[in-house]
Amino acid sequence: MQQVSLVEPGKIELKDVPIPEPSEKEVVVKVNTALTCGTDLKAYVRGHKLIPMPGTFGHEYSGTIAKAGKGVSNFKEGDRVMGVHSAPCMECRYCKKGLYNICEKIMEKKALGAFAEYLLLPAHVVQLNLFHKPDSLGFEEAALLEPLSCIVHPYSKLRFDEIETALVIGAGPIGLMHIAWLKMKGIKVIVSDFFDDRLLSASKIGAYRATVPHNVEEVIKETTGNFGVDLVIECTGQQGAWEKAVNYVRRGGTIVLFGGCPEGTNVTYDTHRLHYDELTLTGSFHFTPEDVRTAYQALTEKAIDLSSLISGEFPLKDIEKAFALLREGKGIKYALKP
C-alpha cells in the first residue's frame, strides 16, 4: 500500500509498505477520505511535538473496514465507518476522575497515519471511538468527526441558557467550526479575522457579524448595547490575541482559550478585571468519548452542515500540493483520496 511519511519539516515521502494486519480487537480501515488540518500543516512546516518524525501522519479519516481482528464484534469487513484517532485508557488517575481528554496515555497510543491507503486502529479506539457511517452522510463530512469532537469539548462545560452572544477570534477551519456549532445552538456570533476571504466564509457558515480586528470592539458595542459578549473563543494561538480576549467579554463572562500557543509562551492579564468581574478563563484540549458521540450525532442527524469547509480534493500522491495551497492561505481543508 501507499503511505505518506513526514521525514522532516518540509519533506514528505510516499512509500510502499505492507498492508497492516489487525491483532485481537483491532481493525484495518481502507481509507476513503483523509482531511488536512492545522496540526498537520504545523508539523509539515516546522514540526510538532505530538507528531514524531520521521513517521506517518494524518488523523481525520473515514473509510471501510478492510479486515477485523479476532474479538471484534461491532464491525465486519465492508462496513463503512468514521472515527477518531485516539481514546482514553480508562485506567489512569485522570480517567478515574472522568477527565478522559487528559488521560495519561491518550497521546501515546493514538493512531496516526490516515494519509495512507490503509489505517490500523488499536483496540481501545475501536471499542470507544469508531462508529458506523450512515449512507446519508458523505465520506468527506464523516472525516470531520475528529475536529468537530474537539470543537464540542469546551461547550460540554458551559450553560447555553446563559449565552446569547459570542466572539470567535480567528476564522480558520477551527474558528469556522466554532461558528457553525454556536449558530446551531442559536447564539449570535461575531467573528474577527484579518483576511476578507475568511470573513466571507464565516458569514456564509452563520456568523452574525464578521469584522477585522481593529473594528471588533465597535461591532461588539453595536451588537450587545455596550454590554460585552457572553463568550469569547480564541482560535488563533497568538499571544496577543490571548491577552486581548478578556477585553471583549462582559462581567461574569467566559473566555475559552482554544488556540494553542507555542510552549513557553507567557501572557499577562489585569488581575482587577479577572477578580472583580469574575471572569472565567479556560483552556480546551482534545475530547472525551462523550464529546465524540455528541459530534457523531450532530453530523449523522444533519444538525450541522460543514460541507463548505472542504475546499477540494487531491490524490494521495499530490498531498504536497494541498499543503502548498494551505501555506498560501488558499482553501480551508482538503480531502486526500487514497
HSE-CB of 37 using CA atoms within 13 angstroms: 24
- Residues 64 and 32: beta-carbon distance below 8 Å: yes
Cα-to-chain-centroid distance, residue 299: 14
- What is the pTM assigned to this prediction? 0.95
- For the chain, the domains span 2-150+288-337, 157-283
Question: E strands of 122-278, at which residues?
Answer: 130-132, 165-169, 188-192, 209-211, 229-234, 249-257
Task: Please enumerate, as own/partner, the contacts of 8-11 that have beta carbons within 8 Å and a separation of 24 or more.
Answer: 8/47, 8/53, 8/54, 9/43, 9/44, 9/45, 9/46, 9/47, 9/53, 10/44, 10/45
Domain 157-283 has CATH 3.40.50.720: yes
Q: What number does CATH give the domain 2-150+288-337?
A: 3.90.180.10
Residue-wise pLDDT for 64-111, tens only, equals 999 999 999 999 999 999 999 999 999 999 999 999 999 999 998 899
Nearest to 112 by CA among 103, 102, 125, 99: 125
Q: What is the structure's pLDDT at 252?
A: 97
Residue-wise pLDDT for 197-238, tens only, equals 999 999 999 999 999 999 999 999 999 999 999 999 999 999
Q: Which amino acid is at 231?
A: L
Task: Report the mean per-residue pLDDT for the chain.
Answer: 95
Beta-strand relationship, 11-16 and 2-8: antiparallel
180 CB-near residues (< 8 Å, 6+ apart) = 205, 206, 304, 305, 306
